[in-house]
Amino acid sequence: MPYLKLNLVAVTIIVIAYMHVSTTVPSLHFVGGIGGWVAPPEPNYYEKWVKGENFFRFDALVFIFDTGSHTLAEVTKEAYDTCNTTNPIYIDTWGPATVRLNVVGVHFYICTMYCKSGQKITVDVKPRNITF
Ligand SMILES: *[C@@H]1O[C@H](CO)[C@@H](O)[C@H](O)[C@H]1NC(C)=O
Ligand SMILES: [Cu+2]
């Protein structure tokens, strides 16, 4: 049955092509690249970094920073916009910090010390499941 085999190969290739982006193994995102999690050298530094990334469920963010110099906090959109550090959803004061992206949707991360200098990122986590 060579035709059946060929069809199977074709179907497999098409399915893999559809699944392409989301079936890769979870990746680590080193926030800010080699610079790490620092007070941004230019105002749009982290916005630019985020634009070059694709975040999928079960990926991880790695924030490289010296303990005491920076922090990593997840906050609400309101707190993110105003750099309100009063009541974060989550805070890690020990560097480096790793965050597993277990929840699909938009998440907001700031440094509670340099948020106002632009040390903050918006991360849109996309599902890993395939929808045809
Ligand atoms: C910051 O957030 C807290 C609640 O988390 C709120 O009580 C406080 O009023 C906010 N501060 C400002 C300046 O908006
Ligand atoms: Cu900082």
Radius of gyration of the chain (CA): 19
pTM of the shown model: 0.82
Nearest CA to ligand 1 atom 12: 84
Ligand at shortest distance from the CA of 97: 2
Strands 60-63 and 72-75: unpaired
Nearest CA to ligand 1 atom 13: 84
Considering the domain boundaries, does residue 42 fall inside one?
yes
Considering the domain boundaries, does residue 10 fall inside one?
no
Decide if 122 contacts 108 (C-beta within 8 A): yes
Considering the domain boundaries, does residue 4 fall inside one?
no
128 or 57, which is more confident? 57
Domain holding 105, by residue range, is 26-126
Q: What is the pLDDT of residue 24?
A: 73
CATH number of the domain at 116, please.
2.60.40.420
Considering the domain boundaries, does residue 77 fall inside one?
yes
Considering the domain boundaries, does residue 3 fall inside one?
no
Considering the domain boundaries, does residue 19 fall inside one?
no
Cα-based torsion angle of the residue sequence 60, 65, 71, 72 in order, rounded to the nearest 10 degrees: -10
Tokens of 93: 């004061």
Domain count, the chain: 1
Pocket (CB within 6 angstroms of ligand 1): 82, 84, 86-87
Mutate which of 77, 84, 89, 116 for ligand 1? The one with the most ligand atoms within 8 Å of its CB, which is 84
Nearest to 120 by CA among 37, 27, 36: 37
Ligand at shortest distance from the CA of 78: 1
Considering the domain boundaries, does residue 97 fall inside one?
yes
Nearest to 24 by CA among 126, 98, 132, 96: 126
Please determine, for residue 22, whether its predicted confidence score (pLDDT) is greater than 90.
no
Per-residue pLDDT tens digits for 25-71: 899 999 999 999 999 999 899 999 999 999 999 999 999 999 999 99
Q: What is the mean pLDDT of the chain?
A: 88
Q: What is the pLDDT of residue 124?
A: 98
